[in-house]
């Protein structure tokens, strides 16, 4: 039996967690799927799936094999697309991930522009405030904020943002502007767990580190809520500069203690390392890189 076919069957059964569900996904009969999995396990000499009357789960070896097989099938599809000429014009399905707020503010406009320019494409936008594993979750392109860990991903730097303290002008007029980090202990602190989950805030000045333990007056789980509280003159919050860029430009919010900010965080567009990168991926990377690099709010050094 063709090994690529067996791999395809295995991926379907493993992801659907069932032989019947995998068979429906592939349009095959359940007995044919069962035979394919048995053949694959016999060929490999290892058990890939644990079966009970209630569920099907990958063994430890099966999990590793699943990740490897998905990469192989992706490369085979990419090679087939290249050979058949699909790379000439961007077309097909593209999956993109980014942090929620960054995705809404900066990535979504780029996606709309991409879909408008290349009508034969469709996009799945996955906006999550966690680091998504591109390989394991089948993502084509990701936008990451912060230092990148060593990986097999290819990364293109497109900008940088700052971790800033800000408050409304009215709040600072009424309560005074902090001159140094220790002064924050006398102010209403709005803690956004999405950016600074800890109440121990790190500051830097002329190479010296300073740690201030704060007791927030208000703790929120979303950055939007922290911004709203600051706009309503409640206190001081710590966010990434892009999240409040419109309000800094309009003057509704003011940056404070800028000289104590840590180094700027880089923004990268990342994608799976592959010499067969398709036109749909290359076209999106080129488009979003141009847009992000042109945005003044994303170009702090």
Residue 136 pLDDT = 76
Residues 55 and 96 reside in one and the same domain: no
Residue 130 pLDDT = 84
pTM exceeds 0.95: no
C-alpha–C-alpha distance, residues 230 and 142, integer Å:
30
Residues 52 and 187 reside in one and the same domain: no
Residues 72 and 130 reside in one and the same domain: no
Report pLDDT digits (tens) over 168-183.
999 999 999 999 999 9
Residue that finishes a domain, picked among 35, 63, 84: 84
Residues 294 and 146 reside in one and the same domain: yes
Residues 169 and 252 reside in one and the same domain: yes
Residues 133 and 281 reside in one and the same domain: yes
For the chain, the domain total comes to 3
Residues 285 and 154 reside in one and the same domain: yes
CATH number where 79 lies: 1.10.10.10
C-alpha–C-alpha distance, residues 150 and 152, integer Å:
7
Residues 199 and 75 reside in one and the same domain: no
- What's the average model confidence in pLDDT over 14-22? 90
Nearest to 139 by CA among 60, 151, 106: 151
Residues 293 and 177 reside in one and the same domain: no
Report pLDDT digits (tens) over 110-135.
999 999 999 999 999 999 988 888 87
Residue % of the chain over a pLDDT of 70: 94
Residue 131 pLDDT = 81
Residues 108 and 238 reside in one and the same domain: no
Residues 99 and 48 reside in one and the same domain: no
Write the DSSP assignment of 106-169 as a string of letters: IIHHHHHHHHHH-TTEEEEEEE-SS---HHHHT-SEEEEESPPPS-SEEEEEEEEE-EEEEEEH
Nearest to 192 by CA among 211, 159, 166: 166
Which structural domain range is residue 9 located in?
3-84
Decide: 39 and 1 in contact? Cβ < 8 Å: yes
Torsion of CA 226, 229, 235, 236, to 10 degrees: 30
Instruction: Please give the backbone phi and psi of residue 40, each rounded to the nearest 5 degrees, phi first.
Output: -65, -45
Is pLDDT at 276 greater than 60 in this prediction? no
CATH number where 113 lies: 3.40.190.10
């Amino acid at each position: 039996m063709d090994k690529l076919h067996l791999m395809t069957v295995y991926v379907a059964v493993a992801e659907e967690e069932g032989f019947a569900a995998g068979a429906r996904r592939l349009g095959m009969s359940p007995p044919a799927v069962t035979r394919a999995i048995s053949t694959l396990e016999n060929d490999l000499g290892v058990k890939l799936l644990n079966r009970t009357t209630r569920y099907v789960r990958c063994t430890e070896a099966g999990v590793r094999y699943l990740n490897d097989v998905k990469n192989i099938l992706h490369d085979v599809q990419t090679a087939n697309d290249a050979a058949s000429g699909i790379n000439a014009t961007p077309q097909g399905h593209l999956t993109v991930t980014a942090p929620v707020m960054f995705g809404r503010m900066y990535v979504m406009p780029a996606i709309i522009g991409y879909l408008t320019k290349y009508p034969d494409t469709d996009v799945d936008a996955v906006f999550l405030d966690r680091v998504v594993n591109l390989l394991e979750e089948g993502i084509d392109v990701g936008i990451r904020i912060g230092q990148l860990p060593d990986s097999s991903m290819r990364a293109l730097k497109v900008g940088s943002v700052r971790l800033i303290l800000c408050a409304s002008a009215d709040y600072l007029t009424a309560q005074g502007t902090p001159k140094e980090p220790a002064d924050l202990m006398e102010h209403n602190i709005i803690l956004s767990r999405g950016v600074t989950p800890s109440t121990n805030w790190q500051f830097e000045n002329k190479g010296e580190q300073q740690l201030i333990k704060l007791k927030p007056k208000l703790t929120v789980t979303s950055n939007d809520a922290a911004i709203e509280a600051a706009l309503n003159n409640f206190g001081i919050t710590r966010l990434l500069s892009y999240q409040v860029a419109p309000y800094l430009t309009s003057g509704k919010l003011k940056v404070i203690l800028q000289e104590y900010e840590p180094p700027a965080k880089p923004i990268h567009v990342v994608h799976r390392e592959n010499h067969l990168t398709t036109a749909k991926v290359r076209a999106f990377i080129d488009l979003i890189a141009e847009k992000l690099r042109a945005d003044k709010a994303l170009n702090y050094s």
